[in-house]
């Protein structure tokens, strides 16, 4: 069936309400707490630093949640698609996009079967997603598939050797469903996931070295960048940036989405790239391949506009 979600539905808060209102209360409490604000800020700084400039690029945010990172990237000039399996998250992300007057394309789907054709994005971001995915290897394979040559994947995950992880494991043993299902990884494991799919690691750093207490965050957060220079051991959050090798002589034009050929400046000959001689797939083969891909579930576009547009979300 189709559920139409307006900017101000009668059974939801007004548009000036917090976008986390549609999320579980625990999620909202975290965002409102001082510990949550300090921690999220440090993680975001690390993500944006490793992600590199995104202006004019097509960016896929996996597990986009309430759209905070997606909106930040859109404000930096990216064309952002956010994907999440939870309709509540997509509703919250749509609300945030309207509040912040940014354009997002929101899609309901699964990270291990992405509903996009090959080579669709210049950047793919997955922050605290793989820790809750059963088949992380397949999810990374999907990220690499939809990434364009020369593009970058950024994976941020929960570090294994930290006090945060120890406390969360204990909660899982005591019955907390979220942490019972979570998997914590080392920097070496994250690197291996990326390189297993022909991605070249360019950066690997940790963050959140303080214990999960507000007083500790207030006192020790300033030392986080210093710790990150030396080790990922003890980091509650670890991020890896990896690139997909591009074909020599080809570059992706961010403004138009078209690929353009470059001259070989080293030789000055202006010869085309070696890939020019490769046979291109026929239109029929390409169409058949795209039809075989998983098709997107509902798409919700939040555009910069003063009008109160409706959003259709398909519940399956």
Complete domains list, the chain, with CATH: 2-247+279-314 (3.40.50.150)
Least confident of 3-12, 62-71, 111-120, 291-300: 3-12
- Give per-residue pLDDT as tens, 100-146: 999 999 999 999 999 999 999 999 999 999 988 889 999 999 999 99
What percentage of the chain has pLDDT greater than the value 90? 51
Residue 199 has pLDDT above 90, yes or no: yes
Q: Are the C-beta atoms of 271 and 248 separated by less than 8 Å?
A: no
Give residue 180's pLDDT band: very low, low, confident or very high (50, 70, 90).
confident
Give residue 83's pLDDT band: very low, low, confident or very high (50, 70, 90).
very high
Give residue 253's pLDDT band: very low, low, confident or very high (50, 70, 90).
very low
Nearest-angstrom CA–CA distance, 43 and 65 = 15
Q: Are the C-beta atoms of 197 and 242 separated by less than 8 Å?
A: no
Rounded mean pLDDT, 285-304: 42
Residue 250 has pLDDT above 70, yes or no: no
Least confident of 109-123, 242-256, 271-285: 271-285
pLDDT of 256 reads: 37
pLDDT of 70 reads: 95
The residue among 222 and 29 whose pLDDT is bigger is: 222
Rounded mean pLDDT, 52-75: 93
Give residue 72's pLDDT band: very low, low, confident or very high (50, 70, 90).
very high
pLDDT of 312 reads: 35
Beta strand extents in 13-102 (DSSP E only): 58-62, 79-84
Q: Mention every residue, 6+ apart, whose C-beta is less than 8 A from residue 26.
A: none
pLDDT of 261 reads: 35
List, in sequence order, every residue forming a beta bridge with 2; answer none if it has no partner: 314
Give residue 24's pLDDT band: very low, low, confident or very high (50, 70, 90).
low
Nearest-angstrom CA–CA distance, 188 and 131 = 15
Q: Mention every residue, 6+ apart, whose C-beta is less than 8 A from residue 263.
A: 269, 270, 271
pLDDT of 80 reads: 96
pLDDT, mean over the chain: 76
């Amino acid at each position: 069936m189709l559920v139409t979600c307006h900017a101000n539905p009668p059974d939801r808060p007004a548009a000036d309400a917090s976008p986390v209102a549609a999320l579980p209360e625990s999620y909202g409490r975290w965002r409102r707490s001082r510990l949550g604000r300090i921690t999220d800020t440090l993680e975001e700084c690390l993500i944006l630093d490793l992600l590199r400039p995104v202006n004019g690029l097509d960016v896929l945010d996996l597990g986009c949640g309430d759209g905070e990172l997606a909106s930040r990237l859109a404000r930096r000039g990216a064309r952002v698609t956010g994907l999440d399996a939870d309709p509540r998250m997509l509703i919250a992300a749509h609300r945030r996009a309207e509040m912040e007057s940014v354009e997002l394309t929101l899609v309901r789907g699964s990270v291990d079967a992405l509903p996009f054709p090959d080579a669709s994005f210049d950047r793919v971001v997955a922050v605290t997603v793989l820790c809750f995915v059963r088949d992380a290897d397949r999810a990374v394979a999907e990220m690499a598939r939809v990434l364009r040559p020369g593009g970058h994947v950024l994976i941020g995950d929960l570090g294994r050797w930290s006090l945060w992880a120890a406390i969360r494991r204990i909660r899982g043993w005591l019955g907390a469903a979220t942490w019972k299902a979570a998997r914590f990884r080392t920097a070496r494991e994250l690197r291996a996931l990326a390189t297993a799919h022909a991605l070249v690691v360019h950066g690997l750093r940790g963050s959140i070295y303080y214990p999960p207490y507000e007083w500790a965050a207030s006192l020790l957060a300033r030392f986080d960048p210093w710790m990150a220079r030396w080790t990922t051991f003890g980091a509650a959050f670890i991020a890896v940036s990896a690139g997909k090798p591009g074909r020599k002589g080809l570059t992706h034009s961010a403004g138009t989405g078209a690929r353009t050929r470059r001259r070989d400046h080293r030789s000055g000959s202006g010869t085309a790239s070696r890939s020019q001689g490769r046979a291109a797939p026929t239109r029929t083969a390409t169409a058949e391949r795209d039809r075989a891909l998983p098709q997107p579930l509902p798409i919700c576009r939040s555009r910069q506009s003063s009008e109160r547009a409706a959003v259709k979300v398909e519940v399956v």
